[in-house]
Chains A and B, each alone.
Chain A
Amino acid sequence: MTENPERPSLEELDARLRAAREHQATRRRAGKSKQAEGQGGLGFALRIGSDLVAALIVGVGIGVLLDYWLGTKPWMLVLFFLFGAAAGFLNIFRRVAGYGLAAGYKKPETGSKDETLKDKK
């Protein structure tokens, strides 16, 4: 590959460059969000477990702190445990459904996913 005897002319190179750029642009338009969501099963699987647990940790942490400050011993913990669990499942749901991440999932660039979301409403 490195020693090509006849060097391509500049026009040829230019055409090739343009073709490559077009190809890249179409590919980008076609699968903009595909890579963001998919990126292989293993990476996906590794991300999903910790999302559930992390939301629970935050929920329980907030609950314990609020109990400590307000003196409402178990109740805030119970409440925020449930909130945390809900947030965890919400994280997972959005990840699986392909809405990107956690809070504020609506993307301005409407891919096919967003359109189906709007249709449901």
Chain B
Amino acid sequence: MASPLKQFEINPIIPLQIGGADVSFTNSALYMAIAAVLCAGFMIFGMRRGAIVPGRLQCAVELSYEFIANLLRDTVGSEGRKYFPFVFTIFMFVLFGNLLGMTPYSFTFTSHIIVTFAMAFVIFVGVTVLGFVKHGFHFFSFFVPPGTPLPLYPLLIPIEIISYLSRPISLSVRLFANMLAGHTLLKVIAGFVGLLGVFGILPLAFVVALTGLEVLIAFLQAYVFAILTCLYINDSLNLH
């Protein structure tokens, strides 16, 4: 029987070498491309008619739009509106990546730390640059909690800096770990179905329940990723 971790293997589809670096088109890249195309297709196809009374697909598109727009307005406020495209793109990409991973025989690119870390790192760098652009060197006051007595500075500043630097790691590890653990668990339990013969009905029922849970987690993690992006943007915009 195949190892439960085999589903995370990256296989090159079109091997490609540029300047000694391996830039093959892999199954991971393929699923990322599929996710991007599906996102774009979902939006374009859903809004194609732009009817006043929306159909089902248009409803779904408008729902996802409003979901992120409300999220951004509630966390950042009206000045956060310009960052809507960024947050929405991140949300849709992660969501489609997670949901694509739920289809059988597919590959979950969000279960690879390098993918999630790349996204989290872009967010982190972007938000830091945004803070510097908006506030200049006043941005460093970020690392001093208001009302701190001077003798505590050497203790608190490293803690605050570590706390700040932990953001991209916690952001990426959360998504990656949830996806990795969920899909491994599904595979392990599904492996029991065949092994137990008649009693395989038990793990089968369990797998069905777990699949539902995984779909929930797919949505939830995309949501958490988006809301944390919003909160980071808010922190950079509204410095104390």
Q: What residues of chain A have their CB less than 8 Å away from a CB belonging to chain B?
A: 2, 28, 31-32, 35-36, 39, 42-43, 46-47, 50-51, 53-55, 57-59, 62, 80, 83-84, 86-88, 90-91, 100-109, 121
Contacts and interface: CB of A to CB of B under 8 A. Distances in A.
A102 B161 CA distance: 9
Nearest to B74: A35
Given A101-B228, A104-B143, A105-B145, A43 B220 contact: yes
- 3 interchain residue pairs of minimum CB distance: A54-B170, A106-B240, A104-B142
Interface residues of B, number: 43
Nearest to B160: A103
A57 B224 contact: no
A42 B162 contact: no
Contacts of B224: 43, 46-47
Query: Which applies to chain A's interface (DSSP): helix, strand, loop or mixed?
Result: helix
Interface string B206-238: 000000000011001101100110011011001
B166 interface: yes
B41 interface: no
Contacts of B77: 109
A91 B163 contact: yes
